[in-house]
Structure 1
Amino acid sequence: MTKEHAMSSETDTSPNIEMPTALEHRWHQLRLVESRVSEQLEHALQREHELTLSEFCALAALAYSDDGGHLRQQILAEAIPLNQSSVSRLVGRLENDGLTERYLCPTDRRGVYTQITDRGRNKLLQARPTYLRVLEYALGEIGRDDYLGRVLTGLVE
């Protein structure tokens, strides 16, 4: 840094930004943990089942719904969570693969429902052991990592 730059920094009138609060720091750490776990799940599901994590989560949300395997796309978007546009594209891919079907709501023609198909249920049944195995491994790995273990402990304190 030049002497002129150092001097101008001292007299700079830029707003002073405070250091992150403990709450901000914990939130950032939680996002890092979630990102690491999601990355491992994404990789395994893609490699072993040709499914993205979002596709797996959509199939799971549909299969586990109390409504016989179908949900309004708006509710599905909240369950995954993704925005409406992303869910529409996601459901389109699943539909092209024969894993879901879409239909209009009989009482509100603006509403679109997505139904998991038998093929979608079978795909979910095949992928779920991978999901659980990797999830258990990834969370265990985080617990064994001193720093990330402290992060998780700090989140619940």
Structure 2
Amino acid sequence: MATSPLAPSSTSDHAAWGRMLAVHAQVERELALALQRRHGIGLSEFRSLEHLHLSESSELRMQDLADKVGLEPSSISRLVGRLEKSGFAYKDLCADDKRGVYAVITDEGSRRYRDARATYAEALSSALNTLAADPELGPAIQALRTAKG
């Protein structure tokens, strides 16, 4: 009997991917909750501030920031708008190409990022430690932690 290409697979790859998604969802929830509680920023805002803070010029083209954060251009525009409203970043036009728009981190945005990165690291370690104790997920967490790359 042929299976539909849209029917869920019962392969070990499907099961492994399901475990990976479960790990990702749990870790993302923990990170988002910790950052919001302690610093009043979301996970995407933190990641945007991180990329801007770590860039050589403290700025990135909006499209490059969208690619780094994993958002669509319209979503990154709204996100940078929120950062702008909070005083953490602003939009600037490219001097050479008036169509090019950059997101630029402010001093306050750099401070917020520096303050939040310890929380991010603590929440990440805590979430992974919790998942590592799960008999089904523990080996995957251990493999991720020891992988070279």
Q: Specify which of 35, 49, 59 is matched with residue 59 of structure 1.
A: 49
User: 1:123/1:134 Cα in 2 relative to 1: closer, same or farther (>3 Å)?
Assistant: same
Q: Specify which of 107, 116, 128 is matched with residue 127 of structure 1.
A: 116
Q: Specify which of 53, 70, 87 is matched with residue 59 of structure 2.
A: 70
Q: How high is the sequence identity, in percent, across the aligned residues?
A: 39
Task: Give the 4+ runs in structure 1 shifted more than 6 A.
Answer: none
1:97 aligns to 2:86 (yes or no): yes
2:132–2:142 Cα contact (<8 Å) kept:
no
**2:19 alignment partner in structure 1:** 29
Q: Specify which of 85, 101, 126 is matched with residue 74 of structure 2.
A: 85
User: 1:18/1:154 Cα in 2 relative to 1: closer, same or farther (>3 Å)?
Assistant: farther
SS in 1 for 2:87: coil
For residues 46 and 9 of structure 2, what CA distance do their matches in structure 1 show?
38
SS in 2 for 1:102: strand
2:128–2:141 Cα contact (<8 Å) kept:
no
For residues 124 and 61 of structure 1, what CA distance do their matches in structure 2 show?
10
User: 1:48/1:109 Cα in 2 relative to 1: closer, same or farther (>3 Å)?
Assistant: same
Deviations 1:62-96 (A, max 9, x none): 1111x321000100011111111111100000001
Supply the RMSD in Å over aligned alpha carbons.
2.1
Which sits farther off after the overlay, 26-35 or 36-45? 26-35
Q: How many residues align?
A: 143
Structure 1 residue runs of 5 or longer lacking an equivalent are 1-13
Q: What's the TM-score once normalised by structure 1's chain length? A: 0.82
